[in-house]
């Protein structure tokens, strides 16, 4: 429909079109009822009121396992509980340099941009076209050159009557927020991995020092036996046995050196540095004191970033399924254009003789061989799959917490036992050496006593490291932040390039401010 000026008949036509579309939709909606009402709003899991494994009020490692239980809320800033400034500095380096965290930040930024891309469908689409033509008109042998400039402004817009476009933007916003939680999870995981790698490195250094001490002890024993052999007090068999033990300890020392070097290189890689072995540090494992506040199980669902990300991904799939359902509804489109032709560009749209066009239309899919219905079902099954993933992620989170809490109690019991074993082994070695010097015991008893002592000392270091590793696992499972808000704002180790992106995420994906239009005839859809 084309005329020189827009007339009121366009408005009348639009009103009639809306009435017809409403009637057509009411007749059609009965065949488009959605199965989405079958999906729950959140994970249907029975959550206990308290953790099945109680958290003990742990004391320093040189005391027995305590019995008091803490039920306070989970606290932020667990990294500082290890009281290791050197570790905090390395964590800051990793947060700035780790490539995996860079990749997660890039994924988050990309997801934020997708919200704008998807949301652009809610706005009119405006385009401009300018063309210049030249024609030669020959009359009575006289050629006249005619130059024309034509300009056109086109606008198109789909009315989001059923909210399908809003649902797609909502899905993109949920996905972006989920990606933000994935970034938070990556950040927490990186800090936990750096802390674990640091304690592994310190433990391997202590094991290396112990292996060197063990070798020296066996060498001293071998020297003593050779002196006694030269004086005719011991047999040649004892000399052979002692020398064999020394060679075995040299072999063991080589293994300890490699374990230390490999753990150092792994630590450097986590920090985004070349994995060399040039690093000086004091090998000292921190002492644990005080229990970890575990809070209530129900609060875990609002605190762990991986669970929150899974919840948001599920919501995104539900929104996509709603949009797929509404793809089967009638579509109302408006298209308009303004065009003008003049001799020069400066004269375009400079008078009232422009040609204006406004077209509104209603389209209703009638037959596509079941494609629209199948796409809707696919989207519904994607939502079902996302729900299953949400349930699995939530159950895994609860399992991780319960296992970590249980393991801490057992590790404290083991550490108490191994400390006592070290004391007894030391006493046994001293007695064996005295009796060997007196000729009462043979060398085999001394050898066994030496091995028992150093094996116990080695196990004690391993259990101390296991306690620290498990404590990190508890913090990670509970979802508490490694830093407090104050430390993030003040300490140089904590800022990250994603901070500004998080602000943009909040601004661009404010889902609550976007009302969802629901057709009265399809409230379940």
pLDDT digits (tens, 9 = 90+) for 298-337: 899 999 999 999 999 999 999 999 999 888 888 888 888 7
Greater model confidence, 260 or 237: 260
The angle, 0 to 180 degrees and rounded to 10, between the axes of the packed helices 99-119 and 499-508 is 20
Reported as a single tens digit per residue, the pLDDT across 384-417 is 999 999 999 999 999 999 999 999 989 999 999 9
Which of 403, 402, 421 is closest to 463 using CA atoms?
421
- Residue 106 within a domain: no
pLDDT for the residue 17 = 52
Taking the C-alpha atoms of residue 49 and residue 343, their distance in angstroms, rounded to an integer, is 81
pLDDT band at 491 (very low <50, low <70, confident <90, very high): low
Taking Cα atoms as reference points, which of 239, 210, 283 lies closest to residue 457? 210
Burial tier of 54 (Cβ tally within 10 Å: 0-12, 13-18, 19+) = middle
Residues 487-512 have a mean pLDDT of: 54
Overall domain count for the chain: 1
**Domain extent for 27:** 1-31+124-159+330-364
DSSP state of 39: S
Cα angle value 114/120/124 (rounded, 5°): 170
Average pLDDT of the segment spanning 122-137: 78
Give 59's contacts (C-beta < 8 A, 6+ positions apart): 65, 66, 289
Query: What average pLDDT is seen over the chain?
Result: 81
Output Rg (C-alpha) for the chain, integer angstroms: 37
Give me the pLDDT at residue 401, please. 93
* Closest alpha carbon to 525 in 164, 25, 33: 33
Which of 211, 205, 183, 174 is CA-nearest to residue 319? 174
Question: Of the segments 277-286, 288-297, 331-340, which one has the largest average pLDDT value?
Answer: 277-286
Contact indicator for 333, 361 with CB cutoff of 8 Å? yes
The answer to whether residue 179 is domain-embedded is no
- Look at residue 15 and tell me if it is in a domain: yes
pLDDT band for position 69 (cuts 50, 70, 90): very low
Query: In the predicted model, is pLDDT for residue 66 greater than 50?
Result: no
Return the pLDDT at 4. 41
Here the tokens at position 277 are 């072995």
Across 112-123, average pLDDT: 90
333: number of Cβ within 10 Å: 13
CA distance 240 to 235: 9
**What is the 3-class SS of 267-313, one letter each residue?**
HHHHCCCCCCCCCCCCCCCCCCCCCCCCCCHHHHHHCCHHHHHHHHH
- Of 279, 284, 280, 256, which is closest to residue 268 (Cα–Cα)? 279
| pLDDT tier, 229 (very low <50, low <70, confident <90, very high otherwise) | confident
Neighbours of 100 (CB within 10 A): 14
Length of the chain: 525
Q: Which two tokens stand for residue 94?
A: 């990793």
Position 274 confidence tier, pLDDT thresholds 50, 70, 90: very high
| Distance between first and last Cα of the chain | 36
Which of helix, strand or coil describes residue 145?
strand
Can you give the pLDDT at residue 356?
62
pLDDT in tens, 180-223: 999 999 999 999 999 999 999 999 999 999 999 999 988 988 88
Structure tokens at 394: 């939530």
Say what the pTM is: 0.80
The pLDDT, as a whole number, for residue 497 is: 44
Helix H or strand E segment including 525? none
Q: Going by C-beta distance under 8 Å and a sequence separation of 6 or more, which residues neighbour residue 37?
A: 524
Asked whether the beta carbons of 428 and 453 are under 8 A apart, the reply is yes
What is the C-alpha to C-alpha distance for residues 449 and 428, in angstroms, rounded to an integer? Answer: 6
Q: Which has the higher per-residue pLDDT, 370 or 349? A: 370
Indicate whether 154 belongs to any domain: yes
The CATH number assigned to the domain holding 2 equals 2.20.200.10
DSSP state of 63: S
Q: With respect to residue 525, please indicate whether it lies within any of the assigned structural domains.
A: no
Helix (H) or strand (E) holding 512: none
Tens-place pLDDT, residues 456-477: 999 999 999 999 999 999 999 9
Residue percentage of the chain with pLDDT more than 90: 42
* Domain presence at residue 130: yes
């Amino acid at each position: 429909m084309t005329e020189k000026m827009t007339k009121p008949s366009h408005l009348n036509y639009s009103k009639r079109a809306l009435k017809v579309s409403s009637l057509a939709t009411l007749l059609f909606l009965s065949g488009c009822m959605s199965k989405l009402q079958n999906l729950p709003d959140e994970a249907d899991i029975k959550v206990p009121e308290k953790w099945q494994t109680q958290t003990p009020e742990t004391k320093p490692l040189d005391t027995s396992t305590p019995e008091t239980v803490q039920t306070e809320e989970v606290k932020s800033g667990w990294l500082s509980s290890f009281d290791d400034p050197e570790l905090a500095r390395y964590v800051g380096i990793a947060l700035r340099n780790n490539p995996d965290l860079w990749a997660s930040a890039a994924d988050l930024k990309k997801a934020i941009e997708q919200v704008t891309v998807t949301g652009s469908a809610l706005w009119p689409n405006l385009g401009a076209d300018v063309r210049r033509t030249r024609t030669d008109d020959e009359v009575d042998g006289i050629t006249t050159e005619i130059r024309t400039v034509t300009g056109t402004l086109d606008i198109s817009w789909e009315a989001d009557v059923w909210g399908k476009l809003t649902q797609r933007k909502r899905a993109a916003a949920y996905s972006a927020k989920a990606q933000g939680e994935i970034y938070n999870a990556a950040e927490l995981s990186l800090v936990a991995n750096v802390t674990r790698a640091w304690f592994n490195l310190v433990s391997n250094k202590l094991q290396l020092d112990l292996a060197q001490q063990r070798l020296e002890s066996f060498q001293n024993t071998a020297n003593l036996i050779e002196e006694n052999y030269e004086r005719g007090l011991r047999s040649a068999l004892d000399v052979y046995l002692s020398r064999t033990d020394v060679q075995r300890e040299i072999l063991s020392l080589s293994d300890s050196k490699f374990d230390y070097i490999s753990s150092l290189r792994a630590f450097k890689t986590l920090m985004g540095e070349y994995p060399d072995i040039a690093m000086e540090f004091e090998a000292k494992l921190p002492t644990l004191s005080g229990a970890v506040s575990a809070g209530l199980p129900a609060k875990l669902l609002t605190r762990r970033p991986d669970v929150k990300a899974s919840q948001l991904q599920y919501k995104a799939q539900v929104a996509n399924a709603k949009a797929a359902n509404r793809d089967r509804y009638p579509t109302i489109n408006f298209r308009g254009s303004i065009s003008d032709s003049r001799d020069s560009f400066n004269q375009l749209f400079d008078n009232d003789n422009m040609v204006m066009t406004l077209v509104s239309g209603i389209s209703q899919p009638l037959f596509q061989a079941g494609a629209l219905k199948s796409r809707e079902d696919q989207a519904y099954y994607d939502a079902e799959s996302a729900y299953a993933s949400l349930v699995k992620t939530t159950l895994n989170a609860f399992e991780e917490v319960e296992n970590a809490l249980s393991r801490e109690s057992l590790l404290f019991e083991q550490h108490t036992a191994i400390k006592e074993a070290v004391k007894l082994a030391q006493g046994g070695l001293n007695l064996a050496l005295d009796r060997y010097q007196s000729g009462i015991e043979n060398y085999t008893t001394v050898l066994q006593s030496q091995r028992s002592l150093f094996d116990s000392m080695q196990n004690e270091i391993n259990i101390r490291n296991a306690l620290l590793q498990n404590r990190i696992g508890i913090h990670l499972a509970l979802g508490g932040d490694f830093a407090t808000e104050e430390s993030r704002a003040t300490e140089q180790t904590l800022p990250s390039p994603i901070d500004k992106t998080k602000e943009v995420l909040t601004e661009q994906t404010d889902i609550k401010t976007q009302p969802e239009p629901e057709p009265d005839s399809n409230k379940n859809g």
